[in-house]
Amino acid sequence: MTDRIEELRERLAELVDLRNAAQVLSWDQQTMMPPRGAPARAEALATLERISHEMFVSADTGRMLDAAAAELNGASEESDDASLVRVARRHWDKARRVPSDLAADLARAGSLGQEVWVEARKRSDFSMFVPYLTRNLELARRYADCFDEFDCPYDVLLDDYEPGMKSTEVARLFDELKSELVPLIATASERPIDDSILHGNFPIERQRRLARSVVELMGFDPQSWRIDDAVHPFATSFGSSDVRITTRWDETYFGSSLYGAMHECGHGLYEAGIADSLQRTPLGHAESLGLHESQSRLWENMVGRGRPFSGVLAPMVSAAFDVSVDPESLYRAVNKIRSSFIRVEADEATYGLHIVLRFELEQALIDQRLSVSDLPEAWNARFYEAFGLEVPDDRRGVLQDVHWSAGLIGYFPTYAMGNLIAGQLWERAHLDVPDLDERIAAGELPPLREWLRENVHKHGAKFPASELLPRVVGSPIAVGPFVNYLKGKLSAVYDVEL
Amino acid sequence: MTDRIEELRERLAELVDLRNAAQVLSWDQQTMMPPRGAPARAEALATLERISHEMFVSADTGRMLDAAAAELNGASEESDDASLVRVARRHWDKARRVPSDLAADLARAGSLGQEVWVEARKRSDFSMFVPYLTRNLELARRYADCFDEFDCPYDVLLDDYEPGMKSTEVARLFDELKSELVPLIATASERPIDDSILHGNFPIERQRRLARSVVELMGFDPQSWRIDDAVHPFATSFGSSDVRITTRWDETYFGSSLYGAMHECGHGLYEAGIADSLQRTPLGHAESLGLHESQSRLWENMVGRGRPFSGVLAPMVSAAFDVSVDPESLYRAVNKIRSSFIRVEADEATYGLHIVLRFELEQALIDQRLSVSDLPEAWNARFYEAFGLEVPDDRRGVLQDVHWSAGLIGYFPTYAMGNLIAGQLWERAHLDVPDLDERIAAGELPPLREWLRENVHKHGAKFPASELLPRVVGSPIAVGPFVNYLKGKLSAVYDVEL
């Protein structure tokens, strides 16, 4: 490594340190912080953001990037050094268009908004949330205004969560997905499924032990991981050796915590699997949230709600709650397709429609075709249209997700893209590991985890999804594999040709 | 407020934000972080320290201080603005003598050392701790070398924890204290006390509920406070509305968690009581650790182990553990004077000797009159001399305290100074609030808390102990009041003239 590249690495390492510090503060806010800590926390996050933004966008960092680029000496595009310079330059080109004060304002407003959202959701009171959402949208628009080379403001936001993705492309994928899902849902919804084993009285402490045992099978390591409670479950990491996942608990339904923990553990495995050589660099965190979500959805649904692993889970569930659950009943119960209010608890088929709803609404909000005060009504009307259900209160409607409160606008589409990518990876993994289902049925998850690490995790942020997918599965993001997977599963569960 | 003062306030507010961020990271390290998170955490803390140190010692901040000072326009020395400029200038004069890289190295080494200490203490293995303590001492010496106007290197370190205090003054106070304590201990130690009610089997969950109830009487507010577990209990805060206290639990002895929680809550009340107008300024955190410790020791011992509050505690203890404890027995049991190994669990009389031991050893370490490898032997020999007990292992000896591992050298004397100051404040509070004992006996703690807030807490870092004490009690730090208090209590407990 040359001196110039080393100099750049040191600067970027300090920026990763600041990012990790901000992530610790944010984790603490969502899991530990007493409510009245919110104003000071928002200031601390705003200051961290301002300082790291100023440090990053400085002409100094620009010179370091130029100097390092000049010394790559024909290193392969895939090498750590070339990737570092390429990705950092892309971040720098984008960040320097944004004033540091705006970056700080975004961080502050996102932190304050989350705290108010917790209370607004609890009370199902949209009105107290209005000024905070209005502020977040206004800041998101000002952020988008910093860029003029995008087709529309929404694309600026989307690009931060899924580099290179456009809303027209998302809309095209979603149209195709929706046209496949709607008849699937119609067919499955009218057929009865008995999911009564999932509902009852399941003491939280037993749910904790069950969830913990399952994530330990997946690769949760107590020396480097924690699991905690959160109002809105999430995963984060401060480097590959400090991974934090969260879940929430419903005493009447263990599916929420169990599959939620598998979901977040899927995210955690991604962060934990990034190569050591990329730690403390901007490549050391996954960047495409579609890829990230593919990991969580793959573990939650394709493994967790799959037939092979149901044979592993059923005896664990039986032991945890002193009940008798057989694998086939569990498999059928957790694949019941029905319209429901809460996205994170939706089945695999209706899930996509929850995302389409949010994608369309947040575009309308950003474009000011929809005002914040009209949002609950618009949500409820579109929800009825898509699901045939009357939203009973905003808690189970527009207030259910944390994202908009935290300023994460343009983020939702990556969830449905995650399903699509998971379908592609799942198909490919079965080709590369022919006995994958047998291994999973035997409770052996390392073969899958290692395949994912080798093909996805270890690269960190080296490649956007648009480059990684062709490398691994031979094509860009596509709807087919996910739909084929889902049709196969639902045909079996509902004993019907789909 | 003028523009120049406002400009200074903004700069200092950002530095407080960075300090709060570092404190969150440190709290998380001691309470939550999985062990393998340590290296990344140390880097994050080092970077935060380097950046905030550079920002603070910049010529820019110096100019802001000068400009603000010029605009005070004869504001009273006690005003917020004048105090801000005075205290920030003192910090700046000290900090700018220290290279930012050294500041970062100190933060990194303190973070790494703590993590190794946890493991070394668990295994009672001093050898694994040697390189970390050696490093911390070397950095402390390099830090001390940045200053030449102090009488000795140790005084540089001491000044960071107790502004203006000198080791010769500490030694004088400790000699006087020791000469009072030794005969007291000798007399009390030979008299039997039945403390069997403190020992038995006390389920942790019940201890948690008891500790929580007691700190809530003191002023613990769940909207702004948390209580968690830590290997070495501590208190911290990120502003007056986010106070974190910790305790540890011993299933065979509830005194450790109960009085420990009162102790840390005493610290927390100090931080929570600082005036709103001082928040997000360098005056918003207490600075004299002697004053800080006076608050924790006053609540733990003078209230918690006092006769009036024993009448409140006894029924709470009885209810918590389904036992029958009467106030007088509890009062006598918790005031048993006996040599013991662990400082934080020592009685009020022998406690001072634990501090003298550490004060003398750390001076010898800093002056290189004692090598790290000889430390356990020196500890054990001096311990035997002071307490007549053979230290059975390093876990109960030289490895019991976190401080040296975290680079906190010169900190210990403030603990014994805290006892002395608590004696002075306790005496004064009884003059100002004549029915104080009756109020405490009735379980009414607000009168004491408000007296402390008004006289001590609200000032934050405006005054060093050497100025605050004369204002409140009419004299500088002194041994008399504490010794009188202790003699009075022990005379009653042991029914002997002391």
Domain assignments of chain A as residue spans, ordered by start: 3-149, 167-494
A108 by Cβ neighbours in 10 Å (0-12 / 13-18 / 19+) ranks as buried
Which residue in the set B17, B32, B33 is minimally distant from A43, CB to CB?
B17
Provide the token pair at B35: 């062990």
Distance CA B483, CA B434 (A): 21
Chain-centroid distance of CA A372 in Å reads 25
Which residue in the set A21, A34, A242 is minimally distant from B37, CB to CB?
A242
Mean pLDDT of chain B: 97
Chain-centroid distance of CA A259 in Å reads 14
Nearest residue on chain A to B37, alpha-carbon basis: A242
Q: Which helix (H) or strand (E) holds B244?
A: strand B243-247
The Cα-based distances of B376 to B124, B365, B400 in angstroms read 11, 12, 12
Q: Cα torsion for B381, B387, B393, B395, to the nearest 10°?
A: -110
Across the beta sheet with A235-237, the strand order is A225-229, A243-247, A235-237
CB within 8 Å of A177: residues ≥ 6 apart:
A352, A356, A416, A420, A479, A482, A483
Name the phi and psi angles at A400, rounded to 5. Answer: -75, -25
Residues of B with a known catalytic role: 264
What confidence score (pLDDT) does residue A176 get? 98
The vertex-A273 CA angle with A270 and A276, nearest 5°, equals 135
Q: Does A241 sit within 8 Å of B40, measured CB to CB? A: yes
Q: Does B43 sit within 8 Å of A13, measured CB to CB? A: yes
Q: Does A48 sit within 8 Å of B51, measured CB to CB? A: no
Domain B167-193+269-306+322-494 has CATH 3.40.720.10: no
State how far residue A107 is from chain B, nearest Cα, in angstroms.
Answer: 13
Altogether, the residues listed in chain B come to a count of 498
What confidence score (pLDDT) does residue B231 get? 87
Q: Residue B245: beta bridge partners?
A: B227, B235
C-beta separation of A277 from B68 below 8 A: no
Mutation test of the interface with chain A: which of B9, B31, B43, choosing the one with the most A Cβ atoms within 10 A?
Answer: B43
Torsion sign across C-alpha atoms A168, A169, A172, A175:
negative
State how far residue A280 is from chain B, nearest Cα, in angstroms.
Answer: 8
Q: Does A222 sit within 8 Å of B40, measured CB to CB? A: no
- In the predicted structure, residue B1 carries a pLDDT above the cut 70: no
Closest CA to A483 of A262, A190, A182: A182
Q: Does A20 sit within 8 Å of B24, measured CB to CB? A: no
The larger pLDDT score, comparing residue A2 to residue B338, is at: B338
Q: What is the mean pLDDT of residues B296-312?
A: 98
Count of C-beta atoms within a 10 Å radius of residue A497: 7
What are B311-365's pLDDT values in tens digits? 999 999 999 999 999 999 999 999 999 999 999 999 999 999 999 999 999 999 9
State how far residue A39 is from chain B, nearest Cα, in angstroms.
Answer: 9
What confidence score (pLDDT) does residue B14 get? 98
Judging contacts by C-beta atoms under 8 Å, the chain A residues touching residue B237 are none
What confidence score (pLDDT) does residue B148 get? 93
- In the predicted structure, residue B73 carries a pLDDT above the cut 90: no
What CATH code would you report for A167-494?
1.10.1370.30
- In the predicted structure, residue A73 carries a pLDDT above the cut 90: no
Nearest residue on chain A to B238, alpha-carbon basis: A40
Judging contacts by C-beta atoms under 8 Å, the chain A residues touching residue B41 are 238, 242
B74 pLDDT tier (thresholds 50, 70, 90): confident
What are A240-267's pLDDT values in tens digits? 999 999 999 999 999 999 999 999 999 9
- In the predicted structure, residue B173 carries a pLDDT above the cut 90: yes
Distance CA B475, CA B455 (A): 14
Q: Does A279 sit within 8 Å of B34, measured CB to CB? A: no
Nearest residue on chain A to B15, alpha-carbon basis: A47
Which residue in the set A18, A28, A35 is minimally distant from B24, CB to CB?
A28
Cα atoms found within 13 Å of the Cα of residue B242, Cβ hemisphere only: 24
State how far residue A267 is from chain B, nearest Cα, in angstroms.
Answer: 17
What are B11-33's pLDDT values in tens digits? 999 999 999 999 999 999 999 99
B168 pLDDT tier (thresholds 50, 70, 90): very high
What are A166-175's pLDDT values in tens digits? 999 999 999 9
A231 pLDDT tier (thresholds 50, 70, 90): confident
Please give the interface size between A and B, counted as residue pairs whose CB atoms are below 8 Å apart.
Answer: 124
Which residue in the set B33, B46, B48 is minimally distant from A242, CB to CB?
B33
What are B205-247's pLDDT values in tens digits? 999 999 999 999 999 999 999 999 998 899 999 999 999 999 9
Which residue in the set B21, B226, B279 is minimally distant from A48, CB to CB?
B21
Mutation test of the interface with chain B: which of A10, A11, A19, A20, choosing the one with the most B Cβ atoms within 10 A?
Answer: A20
What are B392-433's pLDDT values in tens digits? 999 999 999 999 999 999 999 999 999 999 999 999 999 999
Distance CA B115, CA B41 (A): 10
- In the predicted structure, residue A316 carries a pLDDT above the cut 90: yes
What confidence score (pLDDT) does residue B498 get? 85
What confidence score (pLDDT) does residue A1 get? 61
Mutation test of the interface with chain A: which of B23, B27, B52, B241, choosing the one with the most A Cβ atoms within 10 A?
Answer: B241
Cα atoms found within 13 Å of the Cα of residue B176, Cβ hemisphere only: 15
The vertex-A208 CA angle with B321 and A33, nearest 5°, equals 75
3-state secondary structure B198-227: HECCCCHHHHHHHHHHHHHHHCCCCCCEEE
- In the predicted structure, residue A2 carries a pLDDT above the cut 80: no
Closest CA to B29 of B284, B405, B337: B405
